[in-house]
Each structure stands twice: as C-alpha cells, then as structure tokens.
Structure 1
Amino acid sequence: MSEPESPEPAPGRESRRAALELLRGVLRKHRTLEDAIGHTPRWRNLEARDRAFARHLAATTLRRLGQLDAVIARCLDRPLKPKLAAVQDLLRLGAAQVLFMDTPAHAAVGETVALAVGVRVGAHRNLLNAVLRRIAREGDSLLDGLDAPHLNTPDWLWQGWTAAYGEATARAIAEQHMQEPPLDFTVVEQTDREAWRERLGARELPMGTLRLPPGTRDPRRLPGYDDGAWWVQDAAAGLPPKLLGEVRGKRVVELCAAPGGKTAQLVAQGAEVLAVDRSTERLRQLVDNLNRLSLGAATVAADVTQWQPPEKLENILLDAPCTATGTLRRHPDIARLKQPADVPAMAELQMALLRSAARMLAPGGTLVYAVCSLEPTEGVELVDTLLAEHGDIERVPVDPAEIGGLPEAVTAAGDVRTLPHHLGEQGGLDAFYIARLRRSA
C-alpha cells in the first residue's frame, strides 16, 4: 500500500499568492503553466505542500474557468472593467476554492481578500469580500442551470469536437476535462509490476499501466522514483510503441523523441533506440530521464524534416509535435493558450514530418504516427493524404487486443483514437490519434 502522508498544516497566503501569479502568467502573459512556474520566483521558497496547493488551485481555476466567470457574473451588477483584471483573477481563485476544492469558506474568503492589498487592488476589498461571501452562501444555487462542459470549453474547440465526433461525444470529452486526472506510471522491469502495484496501492489498467488516484502528491516523493523503478506516463501515451510489435533486439528510430517517455518504453522492451529531436536541451532532458531509469539510447540533434539516416529504416516511431488538445485533462492551460490558427500551422509541420518519415522507411518497414491531439486535421486527414501520395504504403489495422482490449478506441479504418472519457470510470485517458503504416516489400 502507499505510505500514509503525515498531517500538514493548511496552506497559507504565500501559496495563494503564488497561485495568483501562475494564473496571471497563463491568462495575462500567455505562458504555459509550467513556464509560469519557472517565472514565479516565490515558487522556489514554498514548501512542497504549498507548491502542491498552489498548482492545484491554479489548475482547478483554469479547468473550471467558464463556470467561475459565469458564477461571478451572477454576483455583479455589471461586468468588471478590463483594468480590474487582477480583481477578476482574485475572484476566480476564491470561488474555485469554495466551489470546487472544499476549502473552508472562511479561509478561502479571508485569505483571498487579504491578497488584494498585495496586488494593489485594496480599494476593491469590499467588493471581493461581498462577492466571495455570497458565493460561499449560495454556491449551489449559483451553479444551478449552468452548462458546465460547454462553458469550460472555448467555443472553437467545442464546435470542432461537435463537428468531428458529434455533440454527445463532445460533451463527454468536455465533462472528463473537468475532472482532476489520476497519476499513471510505467514500471521499468515488468516482472516487478505486481510488486509496485501493491506497494503503491495502484490500480492496473488493461494496457499494463499502473494508476494512482487524483490528488496523489508529487511523484518524486513516492517510493521508487529516485531509484528509477518507474516513470510517469499517461496510459494512452504508452500505446504508440506497442504498435511496433515485438521490438526486442531490433533497431527503432524515434523521431521527435524528447522528453523520452516512449523512448524509455522501447528501451525497456529491449529495443536498440536512436532518438532524434531538433532541441539539444530537450535531448539532454531525455538522457537525464533515461539515466534515472538506468536505461540508454543513442541520440541525434537534428531537424527531422532535413535529417536522413545512412540507410532505410525498418521501424520508425513519429510522435509529432501538436496542439496537445488531447492532454487538456492534465494541462488545462492549453485551452486558454491555443487558438484556431494553431491547428493548420501544426498540421503543416506534421505533414512535413510524415513525408520525411516516409522517405526513411525501408520496404517492409513499419511507421507508427501519433499525436496527442483531438483535432482530425492533425491526425487522420494527414495520414489519408500521405497514403494518397504513396501507393506503396498502406495502413496496418490495429486489433483491440494490441491496446489492452479497447474496441471503442479502434476506428473503422483500423487506426487508434483514444478519447478522454474512455475508461472514464477509472479516470479516463489522454486523447491520442495513432496510425500504423507499412511500406510494401
């Protein structure tokens, strides 16, 4: 079983101040949540439990932003002026604690109002206090009647998902995005999987991934992390390497490989891996991750659209950069940062990467293409284009047994399309599109 955590005092004002800076970093400065953390000096001075609270508060606010704004609007006579953006953000943070985090009302209201002086909106403390107290009193009635999945999803994403999957599925996707995700991890030595499942109190998913419940503390503080026994990776992210089949003793070239979760999986399965990525910094991160796991792979820093191997390749995994809309359950900031124009821009790059990978593929060779995006423009449409251009390349349909027996995740064409609400009762999955292609011999 997982080791019990000792009781810790409630998070204080500094953790809420850090959460405010993270929220403003995403919404006002258009940084990712992780980048905002790197640009928040006070973050380094927080204790681990305060960091966890600050991150959770910022993420919950981003995840429920549409609902929060609708509730706040119900408590105001008129919309706040743009120059009062800091007041709006404080209201969001306070309301998130009251409505979605079970924070005691007196702490959520009092500590949030106290932050007003520090961010120079002290003249509006009475407004903050009045609105948050009303939300604390009338929270359920203020939420009543709101279409939460639609409100929390930017319109362009909602419309795109409805067109691609139908309204019922779009709603199921958006509902799953409102839930805090569990923590998935993969054990290096699969013979040790049962032992780690029992030690950490994890659940085993059909594809072999182990899962801890939402709210799990920093994984780096769990047994086995420092020893390199396992790495964190969403269950759906572990599917692309599986579609290469048995790789033990085979050479696999992974394109756009960093930060290395799939690299680790391939190496742990016995493959000889060459990891290619254009970013030397991200390749260093990949190597560091492999070193912690006592695994190794060769690396090449190169632009995949320009790089050519010395000989044709039998096994290629291309996990292409994308809009990452399939990871909103883990990264709610993406919904507030991506714009409609990002999709065709990424698709253009992905098509170039796919064409380059096809040029590298040997007769009889296998190419697995994957993106963690919900947008068909970044997935099936590109694969269809590639197949139309190359008469000697064909799809190799996936059998559900290859991905843990998930028939709902296999499309009519034989590709894999996981959706956030798949395995919903067990916490869901990231959304991946995966196609397996083969050049005729």
Structure 2
Amino acid sequence: MPPVRFAPPTEVPGLAARRIAADILDGVLHKRRTLDDQLDGAAAHPGLKTLSDRDRALMRRLVATILRRLGTLGHVLSRLLDRGIPTDAPRAQSALLIGAAQILWMDVPDHAAVDLSVRLVQSDRRAAKYAGLVNAVLRRCAREGQPLIDEVAAQTLDVPPWLMARWAAHYGESTAKEIATAIGHEPSLDLTVKSDAAQWAARLHGEELPTGTVRTLLQGSVTMLPGFAEGHWWVQDAAAALPARLFGDVAGKAIADLCAAPGGKTAQLVQAGANVTAIDRSPNRVARLRDNLARLGLQAQTVVADATEWPGDDQTSATFDGVLVDAPCASTGTIRRHPDVAWLRQEFDIGALTALQKRLLQKAAALLKPGGTLVYCTCSLEPEEGEQAIAALLSAEQGLRRAPIEAGEVAGLGEILTPEGDLRTLPCHLPHADPRLGGLDGFYAARLVKS
C-alpha cells in the first residue's frame, strides 16, 4: 500500500494579512521604518506578493487605522489591561492593536477580530503565553470599548503632544483641533487628469473639486482603475497639485524641478508645455519618475544628482525661466495620507531639514534667470519650513521679491492664502458633508521673482 499523504492545513482566511500587518506595525513602531519603505520597492515586505488584492487592501487599511488611532487605542487598552500592554512580546502588542482597531472602527465581526488576533499570538513563540489575555481583553473591548472612546473624544490623543503644541501656537488652539480631527479620517483618492476632469469624475464615481482635481472614494489597486494604463491621470493630492500652477503659462519655458521624484509636479509642468529638467538624488526614485512619465506619455530630462550641488562649477548657472523647489521636509501636512509620519518624526528633525531647505533655496536662486520665477513648497505645517524659510531667503537675497498669489489662481479659495500672498493649505480646509471627501494635505508655497 502506498504511503498516505496528508495535504498541508489551509491557513485561516485573513490570518496572513493580519500577520503582515503586525510585521509592518512592528517596523514602524519599534524599528522606525516608514510605511512606504515596507509597502513598495526593493525593501517591501516579501509576504505582500502572496496576498490577494482584497487581503492587501485589508492589510493596508488595518495598519493605517491603527496608526491614525494609536493614541486612542493606547487609552482603551490601558483601561482594559490591569498591568499594561506586554512589552516582552511585540506580537502580543500588535495583536491587541489589530483586534481592537477592527472591533472599534472597522466592518469586521467582533468574533472574527478576536479569533484571528488570538491565532496571531499563538503562532509566535514569545507571545503564545498571552493568548488567553488577548482573548479576554478583546472580548471586553467589544463590550466596553466605545464608552472608553467617548470619554476622551474631546481630547487629541492621536496626535503626538509636541505636534499639537506647535500647531496650537502657530494656528490657534481651535484650528489645531480641527487639523487633528481632519487627519483622523481616511482620505479620498485624488487624481490629476490630463483633460476633461468632469468626464473622469463621472467615470470614476467621484467629483471634480474647484481646483480641477478629481476626488473619488474608489478603493483597491489604483493600477486597475479606468484610465491608469492609458496614462490619462496620475495620483496627486489636490493641495500638491497647486504649486506647479503658480508659474502661470510655462509653454516653451525651461523649468528646473528640484527634488522632483516621484514626478507629479514634473508631469504637470510637461503637460503644460514646459521643457523640464527633473533632478533627484535617489536613483530608485528617478527610475520611478521615469516610469511614471513613460506611462503618461510625457518626456522630461531626468538627472540623478544632489540638487544643492547641481550643476557643477564648470557649468553655467542662471539658465532657467523657472525653478520649482519641492523641498524635503517633516511632511507633517501629509499625516492624513501617511499616518506613520506622526509617530516617526521628532521635533529635532526640523532643524536639519531647514538647513537643507536653505541650501536648496540658495541653489534655486542661482539657477534662475533674471525675471524668472521661483516656486518653493513643502508638505509641512511647520512655520520654520514655510513662512520663516521664505522670510530668511528674502532677507538674504536682495535680488528676489515675493509675487503674491491671487485667489483667482487657486479657484477663488481665498482661505488658503496668507495675508502676504503665500499658499497655506490645512487638512481641515475644503470641508465636505462626508469627511472622507473633504480636506487637503497641509502645504505651504511661495512665489518669488528674480529682478
């Protein structure tokens, strides 16, 4: 008789997605790795390739929900745990966060959320001893969790205190709380379309914003949406689409886009008729930029270089009609789309970034022809990386002057302009009855002209 062969047991549906979510959470919270690094590119989690599109979307939503609600989750779990969250087994901590997030904010049956979190703990050698604890705490969470959320609803636990203190000091306490509320909502998908925004809004079951961006709540793989493969549009937050428009008519003009990858603003400028030189220091990011432009059927000169040192001393400066500086920054304006930023950034990061921004602005001024336009922008809510950076540049560079932005250039949205005529969008701007369809990334932009 031939030997009996047993088929390997089939893994419980959904467990792989939660296991990868736990790994990625551990990467953010304990190893300080960004979500982008863990989700895309050469260093992405290897298990992602094994997930179906549905499970991949579930995993992403799980991780994002936990990071958006991390402070509130910590409060709830601390009230349900007599001795606090176990610190000797990171998988137990992740399992509690994953289970509680599903119970409190996601459309997952409570029994499934509890069962899968217990299985997650049981599959880890160090955490297995906490299976009973995880089971008991999550069952209590299903019964008692919502009242525990309600008792801290007026607080801003999901934003690090140092950030809330900064926003309150710069924007006022009321606006700071509005920002905190806005970044707690899962954002829409924003698209910049080549033409006929109304038609694409209808086709993608979304709406056209006053600025021309198409906003939709469609979920799933972006590459499978109508128009992606044909290059009719690209993903770009509505606020991020504004700075490139501040050059005005760029047809036939030479524009340098410093720190250009992944290329959304480069694409806007090329689509508008500019001859664009796109510079970025990362070979991988430049490769991604080239791929994006190829899909869109657009062409630009791409350069792998440190923009602060480009071009070399033997090359001619002052050769561009316009220079766009989309500077590396603390990215605190993008927390609604990148919730890991809130927990990865520290206040001391800002000082090093402002020094880099200063060097980029000095280089941009040198590259600009007399009469040319410099547009500086950051996706940061911090004044050192916006208003203060431009004030310092104007004091140091007598040949530059501010060219105030008019409300008509930003679809009449006067509330997103500062008294000086700069652009300042906040996550709480552009409100909507459905919070998922409202809001903008926090952006600062200024337009300067060289005399």
TM interval, shorter chain, is over 0.9
Task: Tell me, in whole angstroms, the C-alpha distance in 2 between the residues paired with 1:322 and 1:431.
Answer: 12
Q: TM-score, normalised by structure 2?
A: 0.92
- In the alignment, the residues of structure 2 paired with residue 32 and residue 113 of structure 1 have an alpha-carbon distance, to the nearest angstrom, of 27
2:439 is matched with which residue: 409, 428, 431?
428
- Provide the residue aligned with 2:48 in structure 1: 43
> Are 1:139 and 2:145 counterparts?
yes
How big is each residue's C-alpha offset from its partner over 1:287-323, in whole Å with a ceiling of 9 and x where there is no partner? 1100000111011222211113634122111111111
Aligned to 1:323: 330
Aligned residue for 2:308?
305
The CA distance in 2 between the partners of 1:218 and 1:169, in whole Å, is: 34
Match of 2:76 in 1: 71
Distance 1:147 1:86 in 2: 28
Check the 8 A contact 1:67/1:148 in 2, yes or no.
no
Distance in 1 (CA, whole Å) between partners of 2:158 and 2:114 is: 23
**Aligned pairs for 1:342-421 within 5 A:** 342-421=349-428
Question: Is the Cα–Cα contact under 8 Å of residues 26 and 90 in structure 2 kept in the other structure?
Answer: no
Partner of 2:114: 109
Which of residues 201, 209, 212 in structure 1 aligns to 2:213? 209
* Structure 2 residue aligned with 1:157: 163
Per-residue Cα deviation, 1:305-349 (whole angstroms, up to 9, x for no partner): 111363412211111111111100000011111111111110010
In structure 1, how many angstroms separate the alpha carbons of the residues matched to 2:402 and 2:356?
21
Distance, in Å, in 1 between the alignment partners of 2:13 and 2:230 is: 30
Query: Which residue does 1:274 correspond to in 2?
Result: 277
TM-score, length basis structure 1: 0.94
Query: Between Structure 1 and Structure 2, how many residues are aligned?
Result: 428
Among 196, 199, 209, the residue aligned to 2:200: 196
Q: Unaligned 5+ residue runs, structure 2?
A: 1-11
Unaligned runs of 5+ in 1: 1-9
Q: Helix, strand or coil for the counterpart of 1:236?
A: coil
CA–CA distance in 1 between the matches of 2:64 and 2:288? 24
Number of the residue aligned with 1:6: none
Shift, 1:276, TM fit: 1.3
Q: CA deviation at 1:34?
A: 2.1
For residues 329 and 218 of structure 1, the distance between their equivalents in structure 2, rounded to whole angstroms, comes to 19
For the 8 Å contact 1:255–1:316, the answer to whether it is kept is yes
- Cα distance, 1:222–1:141 mapped onto 2, change above 3 Å: same
Superposed counterparts of 1:204-283, under 5 Å: 204-213=208-217, 216-283=219-286
Q: Is the 8 A contact 1:370 1:434 kept in 2?
A: yes
Give the root-mean-square deviation of aligned CA atoms.
1.4
Aligned twin of 1:170: 176
Instruction: Output the CA distance in 1 between the equivalents of 2:244 and 2:155.
Output: 32
CA contact (8 A) 2:77 2:85 kept: no
Task: Please give the per-residue CA displacement for 1:19-59, whole angstroms capped at 9, x wherever unaligned.
Answer: 11111111111111122234422211011110000011011
After superposing on structure 2, the runs of 4+ consecutive aligned residues of structure 1 that deviate more than 6 Å are none
Q: Deviations over 1:236-262 (max 9, x none)?
A: 000011100011222211111111000
In the alignment, is the contact (CA less than 8 A) between 1:149 and 1:174 conserved in 2? no
Deviation at 1:139, TM superposition (A): 2.3
